[in-house]
Amino acid sequence: MGVALPLLDHYICSMSREPVNHLPALIPAERLPAVTDQATERFGLVGASAAMREVYRKIELYAPSDAAVIVTGETGTGKELVARALHAQGPRHSGPFVAVNCSAIAAELLESELFGHEKGAFTGAHQTHRGRFERAHGGTIFLDEVGDMPLPAQAKLLRVLEEGRVERVGAERAVPVDVRVVGATNVPLERAVHEGRFRADLYHRLAVLRIALPPLRQRPEDIPLLVEHFLRLFRRKYARPVERLTPEAMALLDAYLWPGNVRELRNVLERVFVETHAEVIGARAFREWVRERQDFTPGEWGPEPAPSAAAVAPPWPLPGAPPEPPPF
């Protein structure tokens, strides 16, 4: 069953008769930060809000250090961009940057992928394999979704962090490695420690420095900057002169809560960019996307979701819903 949202229905009806002059400009022009492009786009990230300025400050502060960093934030907020910025701005910038998604590799293969294996160590090991830590020697290893790492691999990772050496599966001696570790998680590691899914000693080794990326719904003043940034990218990519969004289209994006964050914004903008054959994108171009968001998840959106419901914000704010607390 689709989601019956009065506000969502209001937008769908509005887009059938563009221009939608009665839609409010939810972020007035005078509230937008008067900053230069250099201040709004840094380290591959875009934004001039106070939350993003704090992220930029921490990147500059932490980059020269060799201490481990944990980057927290919801899916699509740009955690790997932060990790790459820490690498590029630090003394290891000339070394390799190796990224590993710990949740995308089967548990039985993760140790071999991270730490390597010797020829004949197990069935199918037909040759020696250098793990990601060895390949990151002299640079940075980025452990994405580190909170999903199985406990046996966590124990081996802890030993690598303590000793600076990796032991390939089936090897008789350890190999020295010199890497900086940056981890990322979209769930609080403290909760995982409390639930016994993450080792407390490893947590203390990894969470020396922390950078928290805000969800897009908590920095709505950055949406126009992101829209301008992505339109500029798509103009180059598709060689087409789509210049801007109408105020009604921008108001529609401002009202959305963006559970997929910046990645979702980029994807929907690329979609309407490809579908638009004019220099200006209007609210009507988003009509199909809005209708799809009615069926984003089963059940009803509400400020107090059922325990079995996905822990994401509703696509559009419900009337009278209280403001949400920060996720971290």
Structure-token match 């969470």, residue found: 207
Name the packing angle between helices 261-275 and 287-294 (round to 10°): 140
Provide the CATH number for the domain formed by 6-18+31-42+218-294 in this structure.
1.10.8.60
- CA gap 219, 206 in Å, rounded: 27
pTM: 0.79
Per-domain residue ranges of the chain: 6-18+31-42+218-294, 50-118+125-212
Task: Name the residue with higher pLDDT: 163 or 14.
Answer: 163
Yes or no: say if 285 and 242 are a contact pair by the CB < 8 Å rule: no
- CA gap 213, 140 in Å, rounded: 20
Best CATH choice for the domain 50-118+125-212 from the list 3.30.565.10, 3.40.50.300, 1.20.58.220, 3.90.180.10: 3.40.50.300
Mean of the per-residue pLDDT values of the chain: 82
Is residue 68 over pLDDT 60? yes
- CA gap 325, 327 in Å, rounded: 6
Is residue 29 over pLDDT 70? no
Q: How many CA atoms lie within 13 A of 262 on its CB side?
A: 27
What pLDDT, on a 0 to 100 scale, did the predictor assign at position 167? 83
Residue type, 257: L
Q: What is the largest CA-CA distance in the chain?
A: 72
Residue type, 65: S
- CA gap 122, 95 in Å, rounded: 31
Q: How confident is the model at residue 314 (pLDDT cuts 50, 70, 90)?
A: low
**Structure tokens belonging to residue 132:** 């990601």
- Over residues 80-106, the mean pLDDT reads 95
What pLDDT, on a 0 to 100 scale, did the predictor assign at position 108? 78
Please state the φ and ψ torsions of residue 7, each to the nearest 5 degrees.
-65, -40
The count of other CB atoms within 10 Å of the CB of residue 145 is 18
Per DSSP, 324 falls in state P
Q: How deeply is 159 buried, as exposed, middle or buried, from its count of CB atoms within 10 A (0-12, 13-18, 19+)? A: middle
Yes or no: say if 68 and 182 are a contact pair by the CB < 8 Å rule: yes
Strand partners, 244: 280
Tens of pLDDT along 183-200?
999 988 999 999 999 999
Task: Name the residue with higher pLDDT: 327 or 64.
Answer: 64
- Over residues 249-269, the mean pLDDT reads 94
Q: How deeply is 196 buried, as exposed, middle or buried, from its count of CB atoms within 10 A (0-12, 13-18, 19+)? A: exposed
Is residue 32 over pLDDT 50? no
What is the DSSP annotation of 231-280?
Answer: HHHHHHHHT----EE-HHHHHHHHH---TTHHHHHHHHHHHHHHH--SSE
Yes or no: say if 108 and 97 are a contact pair by the CB < 8 Å rule: no
H, E, C per residue of 48-66: CCHHHHHHHHHHHHHCCCC
Structure-token match 């961009």, residue found: 81
- Over residues 257-285, the mean pLDDT reads 94
- In percent, how much of the chain has pLDDT > 70? 75
Is residue 72 over pLDDT 90? yes
Q: Output the CA torsion sign for 227, 216, 283, 239.
A: positive
The count of other CB atoms within 10 Å of the CB of residue 318 is 16
Q: How confident is the model at residue 214 (pLDDT cuts 50, 70, 90)?
A: very high
- CA gap 190, 209 in Å, rounded: 14
Q: Do domains 6-18+31-42+218-294 and 50-118+125-212 have the same CATH topology?
A: no
Strand partners, 185: 72
Q: How deeply is 21 buried, as exposed, middle or buried, from its count of CB atoms within 10 A (0-12, 13-18, 19+)? A: exposed
What pLDDT, on a 0 to 100 scale, did the predictor assign at position 28? 46
Yes or no: say if 186 and 49 are a contact pair by the CB < 8 Å rule: no
Residue type, 95: G
What pLDDT, on a 0 to 100 scale, did the predictor assign at position 169? 75
